[in-house]
Structure 1
Amino acid sequence: MSNRHTTKALRSAAAVALTATMAIAVTGCGGDSGGQKSDKGASKESTGPRADGGKKPAAQSTTAIGEMKGPDGIVVTLNSAIREDGGFITVNGTLTNRGSKVFNAYAWRSKETEMRSQSSISGASLVDAAGKKRYLILRDTDGECLCSTGLYGIKPNESRPIFAQFPAPPQSVTQVDFQLPSMPTVNIKITG
């Protein structure tokens, strides 16, 4: 076989392998529910990562369990604080800019210098006043917070969903204070 035919055969084999790999990747990313019917009432919105790194679907509640009003018209409305299997609590809410200038959440980040996202709510905490314990946001294996990031360039009248995951306090604790730098503290009820 000549060099030209060998090169052509190798290119064809590479194209077939690439096509097969892409087909497997697309199939793996598909939304096949394994023959199960989907629940029409379930929300398809993702609110945060699970402990295994995937996105976690959760219904966004419209009922507020707490609200924080900060400087320059920034409002954080907390919708849920759910005790999850695995020993953590997920707090979900909405950040709304009711002010007249663009908002960046730089003041809300933690003091850690290793954090990649400089505009996150990584500085948030839960406080169990009765038990005298503070719970900081969980981190993934890369040291990044399990919380909303990329909270910059939020225009006036714009809202964004937010979430944060914390270690769960003991089952007997049902009320905690949610704290976010530069915002007033709000007491919220844990469900689940």
Structure 2
Amino acid sequence: MSIPHVRKLRRAATAAVLAVGLTLSMAACGGDSAKGEKEASSSASSKPADDSGNGGGETIPDTSKVLVTVKGDSGVDMVINSAQRDTGGFLTINGQLKNTGSGIFTTPIQWSGEEQAVAGTGRSLAAMTLVDSQAKKRYYVLRDTDNRPLTTSGFDPSIEPGKALTFFAQFPAPELSTNQVDLQFPGFAVATIEIS
């Protein structure tokens, strides 16, 4: 084989390798971008309300109405502001955990529940449960497809004196004939609430 012929083959092979590499790079960049946008959109739509009260774009619950207040450990009160059935067959509880004491309250790890899969998602209120005494059923906080609890999560590990952690928790809705449920949460007495 002559030297000019070898040079032509090398140039053609180099051009082919560069073309394939460039195509793969463009596809990878475009794929990551589309994937990133999809993940950002997905995480934004499934992100629970944060503890600052603005809910990250979610509707701010009406805190002027109080269904029940339950005293808890170390000067923390749990105030339930609403318990509302949603059209999709869910029951959403909105409330506040208020530090009425004079010291900083450290949120207990028990609030996140004992399930290992849920514990991996960080701080949450997944230990909250509802009991329908009439139907003799217990309801747990719902989970999304990634096993994250549908409740306020990722909040600070402490609540300053005079401050509150605004929260929500979503459960399967009890039967329509049930208009009263008992809310159970570690560190608090049972709170009986009316469903609206």
Same fold? TM cut 0.5: yes
Offset of 1:138 from its aligned partner?
Answer: 0.2
Conservation of the 8 A alpha-carbon contact between 2:113 and 2:119: no
Residue 100 of structure 2 aligns with which residue? Answer: 98
Conservation of the 8 A alpha-carbon contact between 1:76 and 1:95: yes
Match among 112, 135, 138 for residue 115 of structure 2: 112
Larger radius of gyration: 2
Aligned residues with identical type, % of pairs: 35
TM-score (norm 1): 0.69
Q: Which shows bigger deviation, 122-131 or 153-162?
A: 153-162
TM-score (norm 2): 0.67
In structure 2, how many angstroms separate the alpha carbons of the residues matched to 1:59 and 1:102? 24
Residue 177 of structure 2 aligns with which residue? Answer: 172
In structure 1, how many angstroms separate the alpha carbons of the residues matched to 2:62 and 2:89? 22
Offset of 1:105 from its aligned partner?
Answer: 3.4
Residue 121 of structure 1 aligns with which residue? Answer: 125
In structure 2, how many angstroms separate the alpha carbons of the residues matched to 1:47 and 1:175? 25
Offset of 1:127 from its aligned partner?
Answer: 0.7
In structure 2, how many angstroms separate the alpha carbons of the residues matched to 1:159 and 1:151? 11
Residue 139 of structure 1 aligns with which residue? Answer: 143
Question: Which has the larger helix fraction?
Answer: 2
Unpaired runs of at least 5, structure 2: 1-39, 41-47, 51-55
RMSD of the TM alignment (CA)?
A: 3.4
SS of residue matched to 1:139: coil
Offset of 1:89 from its aligned partner?
Answer: 0.6
In structure 2, how many angstroms separate the alpha carbons of the residues matched to 1:116 and 1:56? 25
Residue 74 of structure 1 aligns with which residue? Answer: 76
